[in-house]
């Protein structure tokens, strides 16, 4: 790492009904050995009590003698850069005790929710921002290793760790990636492979998983924030594609890890996750694919759906077939991010 003050990092955890998994995530960030970071919890209108759990977690640490400084903002205050006096008090505390909660007040989706925190980070002049899923956890060395990786690779716009399954850390979920618009998806290299010596070292990659990724803040100034046309799913693929079109690339450090309990908020392999995943993969293709990629994606999806739907029906999962079919119907009816945001608001229990 270059000499001088350590670059400041905003660690952004977007939360929607994260439950106890959120505390595991925040606790892992707390033990990071990097010396200059702020933990930012951006709550996307949770109704499961997880924001209160997070505040209780911070207050319990303070009661135990730690120097924990909590700053709370609503969406507008955060996007304006926060309160100068509160920020000054926050800055003199130790990094593990700097905790910012942004209460967004509604479920904006992954892209728009993270963008609230990104606007805050950009307004506050952070050099780096880490996006971390609320169902993921980092190792103590993960953040410092990724900062060092970017400090030594000036041409990389971001860096990610190896991501492994939380229930079985020997199973890889991500070890680099690629954008394949002709398949309407981002590919995770190494997925479901057994971890071992071959999955080590640092290398360039074209796609960074949004589960855990450290970005240069300059990337968002150059190419824009996350695409808010996506409500949930494929926002990270879209960002990787846009960056690639600008000649930018990313890196992956396979010697540090994040653990991911996939799909906590939506429950993995649920009808809701199938609905969002498939609807927004169609949007990915429509927005960013060339004519030949669009034609190839159509052929790919048509041929693979026959086999997939047959397999799901045999496995006794007609609800997943129904959810995917509905995603296609809604996509072609124009029911996209704004529709999903309004539906999420309508489904929220009234006080």
Nearest to 4 by CA among 129, 146, 130, 151: 151
Could you tell me what percent of the chain has a pLDDT over 90?
91
Give 162-208 pLDDT, tens digit per residue.
999 998 999 999 999 999 999 999 999 999 999 999 999 999 999 99
Residue 348, pLDDT > 60, answer no
Neighbours of 44 (CB within 10 A): 26
User: Would you state the structure tokens that stand for residue 158, as one six-digit string?
Assistant: 């971001």
Rounded Cα gap, residues 209 and 232, in angstroms:
14
Tell me the three state secondary structure of residue 91. helix
pLDDT, position 350: 38
Q: How confident is the model at residue 293 (pLDDT cuts 50, 70, 90)?
A: very high
Residue 349, pLDDT > 60, answer no
Residue 265, pLDDT > 50, answer no
Could you tell me what percent of the chain has a pLDDT over 70?
95
Give 3-35 pLDDT, tens digit per residue.
678 999 999 999 999 888 999 999 999 999 999
Rounded Cα gap, residues 130 and 210, in angstroms:
9
Nearest to 9 by CA among 249, 274, 201, 217: 217
Give 7's DSSP letter: P
Assign residue 338 a region (left: φ > 0; alpha: ψ between -120 and 50; beta: otherwise): alpha
Tell me the three state secondary structure of residue 39. strand
Q: What is the mean pLDDT of residues 241-250?
A: 95
Q: What is the mean pLDDT of residues 89-108?
A: 95
Q: What is the mean pLDDT of residues 238-264?
A: 91
50-59, 129-138, 338-347: least confidently modelled range: 338-347
pLDDT, position 263: 52
Q: How confident is the model at residue 269 (pLDDT cuts 50, 70, 90)?
A: low
Residue with more model confidence, 345 or 314: 314
Q: What is the mean pLDDT of residues 275-279?
A: 95
Q: What is the mean pLDDT of residues 294-310?
A: 94
Residue 38, pLDDT > 60, answer yes
Rounded Cα gap, residues 321 and 315, in angstroms:
11
pLDDT, position 5: 84
Residue carrying the six token digits 């971390």: 132
Q: Helical H runs in the chain? A: 19-30, 50-63, 75-79, 84-91, 110-123, 142-152, 217-223, 235-245, 271-288, 291-314, 318-332, 337-347
pLDDT, position 344: 79
Rounded Cα gap, residues 106 and 347, in angstroms:
11
Domains in the chain (CATH in brackets) are: 9-260 (3.90.550.10), 271-347 (no CATH)
* Residue 243 CB partners (closer than 8 Å, separation 6+): 157, 219, 223, 249, 250
Q: What is the dihedral of CA 34, 36, 42, 43, to 10 degrees?
A: 60
Strands 185-188 and 37-43, by their bridges, are: unpaired
Strands 98-103 and 37-43, by their bridges, are: parallel
Give 103-162 pLDDT, tens digit per residue.
999 999 999 999 999 999 999 999 999 999 999 999 999 999 999 999 999 999 999 999
pLDDT, position 61: 95
Say if CB 79 and CB 42 are below 8 A apart: no
Rounded Cα gap, residues 351 and 349, in angstroms:
7
Mean pLDDT of the chain: 93
User: Would you state the structure tokens that stand for residue 177, as one six-digit string?
Assistant: 């990636």
Say if CB 348 and CB 116 are below 8 A apart: no
């Amino acid at each position: 790492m270059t000499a001088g003050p350590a670059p400041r990092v905003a660690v952004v955890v977007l939360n929607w009904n994260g439950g106890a998994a959120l505390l595991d995530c925040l606790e892992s960030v707390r033990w990071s050995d990097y010396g200059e970071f702020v933990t930012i919890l951006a709550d996307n209108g949770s109704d499961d009590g997880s924001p209160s759990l997070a505040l209780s977690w911070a207050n319990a640490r303070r009661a135990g003698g730690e120097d924990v400084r909590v700053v709370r903002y609503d969406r507008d205050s955060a996007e304006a850069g926060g309160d100068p006096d509160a920020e000054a008090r926050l800055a003199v505390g130790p990094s593990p005790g700097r905790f910012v909660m942004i209460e967004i007040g509604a479920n904006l989706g992954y892209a728009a929710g993270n963008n609230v925190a990104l606007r805050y980070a950009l307004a506050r002049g952070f050099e780096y921002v880490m996006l971390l899923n609320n169902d993921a956890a980092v190792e103590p060395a993960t953040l410092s290793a990724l900062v060092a990786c970017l400090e030594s690779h000036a041409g990389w716009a971001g860096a990610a760790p190896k991501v492994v399954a939380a229930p079985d850390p020997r199973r890889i979920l991500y070890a680099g990636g690629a954008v394949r618009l002709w398949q309407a998806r981002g590919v995770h290299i190494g997925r479901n492979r057994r971890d071992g010596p071959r999955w080590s070292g640092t290398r360039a990659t074209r796609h960074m998983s949004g589960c855990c990724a450290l970005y240069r803040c300059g990337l968002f100034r150059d190419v824009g924030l996350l695409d808010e046309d996506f409500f949930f799913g494929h926002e990270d693929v879209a960002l990787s594609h846009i960056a690639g079109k600008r000649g930018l690339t990313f890196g992956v450090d396979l010697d540090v890890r994040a653990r991911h309990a996939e799909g906590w908020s939506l429950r993995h392999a649920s009808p809701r996750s199938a609905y969002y995943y498939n609807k927004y993969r169609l949007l990915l293709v429509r927005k960013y694919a060339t004519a030949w990629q669009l034609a190839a994606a159509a052929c790919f999806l048509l041929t693979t759906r026959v086999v997939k739907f047959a397999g799901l029906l045999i496995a006794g999962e007609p609800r997943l077939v129904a959810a995917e079919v509905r995603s296609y119907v809604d996509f072609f009816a124009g029911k996209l991010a704004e529709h999903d945001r309004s539906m999420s608001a309508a489904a929220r229990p009234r006080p």
